[in-house]
Amino acid sequence: MTKIACILYNKNISKGKGLQIIADLFLGESMNLFDILGPIMIGPSSSHTAGAARIGYVARKLLGEEPIYIDIGLHGSFAATGDGHGTPMAIVGGLLGMKPDDERLPQSFELAHSLGIEIIRHNIYLREAHPNTAVLFVKGKKRQLEIQAESLGGGTIRICKIDGINTNFNGDYPTLIVHNIDEPGHVAGVTALLAKRQINLATVQLYRDERGGYAVMVIESDQRIPEDVLYEIEEMPGIIKVTYLNMDA
């Protein structure tokens, strides 16, 4: 599957600023004071431990329920030095709902074991992937999910694939992920509903596998999205799956 379109817009900013934001997204240079002092985290590595915990946490939020089966594939430096840095432990901790500064992280495997969760960990090789990449396949009682994510340093991450479709977001904002049939009107329908509910959009990204096939929109918003809005989107014709991520909830 190839990424056909990636639209990043914000109605409040000029085109030039928009390009700067895109540049910052990929260069990772724009840091606020708390990116410099922080995060508060469990050691030893912001990329291999804190970032890994965050990847697990995002996966848990996207799955929306407690996992019963966790398959962890580690690539590159994650594969080479992940065990010494507690990368699998941090991912499992995140999947159990622990944040990167949760002091229970070092005991996550014991906790998962006591809950009867099956864990598989193996090394993988991906072409042209970031050196700190993890591919997680998780199953709950009702749902399952596969994500590919990168740990970019300093505890920041990027979710680059969900269920095989390319994405590009980090979970800093409330994020709505809508899988839909690729036909006219779905983006307009969803964004109109969000506008009606006074939810300001930070970014909108659109991805699809083939023309007229399967598409995904990733919408980052300034405000959290209420449950009834999510339900309403789910009920719209042509919508296949709605996932919502709010790291603060």
Partner 1 sequence: MAFTSVKTLLDGYAKQDLNIEFWEYIMLEDMKDQQISRTESMKHVQELMSVMKQAVQNYDANQRSASGLSGGDGAKFAAAQEAGHTLTSGFIADAIRIALTMAECNACMKRIVAAPTAGSCGVLPAVLLAYESNFGAEPEAFIEALYVAAAYGQIIAYEASISGAQGGCQAEIGAASAMAAVALTYLHGGSLEEGANACAFALKNMLGLVCDPVAGLVEVPCVKRNVAGAVNAIAAAEMALAGIQSKIPVDEVIAAMDEIGKLMDSSLRETGKGGLAATLTAKKIEKALTH
Between 54 and 208, name the residue whose CB sits nearer to partner 1.
54
Between 41 and 59, name the residue whose CB sits nearer to partner 1.
41
Of 9, 18, 22, 101, the residue at the interface with partner 1 (CB under 8 A) is 101
CB of 21 to partner 1, least distance (A): 10
Could you tell me if 128 and 150 are in contact, meaning their C-beta atoms sit under 8 angstroms apart?
A: no
Of 8, 10, 18, 39, the residue at the interface with partner 1 (CB under 8 A) is 39
Between 31 and 192, name the residue whose CB sits nearer to partner 1.
31
- The C-alpha atoms of residue 249 and residue 244 are separated, in whole angstroms, by 11
Of 60, 61, 75, 85, the residue at the interface with partner 1 (CB under 8 A) is 85
- The C-alpha atoms of residue 113 and residue 126 are separated, in whole angstroms, by 29
- The C-alpha atoms of residue 25 and residue 67 are separated, in whole angstroms, by 31
Of 1, 7, 30, 118, the residue at the interface with partner 1 (CB under 8 A) is 30
Q: Which of 146, 122, 126, 124 is nearest to 136 (CA)?
A: 146
Contact between 223 and partner 1 (CB under 8 A)?
Answer: no
Instruction: Report residue 156 as tokens.
Output: 């920041």
Q: What is the biggest distance separating any 2 CA atoms in the chain, rounded to whole angstroms?
A: 53
Q: Which of 56, 54, 50, 67 is nearest to 112 (CA)?
A: 67
CB of 109 to partner 1, least distance (A): 12
Enumerate binding residues for partner 1 (CB under 8 A).
24, 29-47, 49-50, 77, 80-81, 83-86, 101, 103, 105-106, 131, 153-155
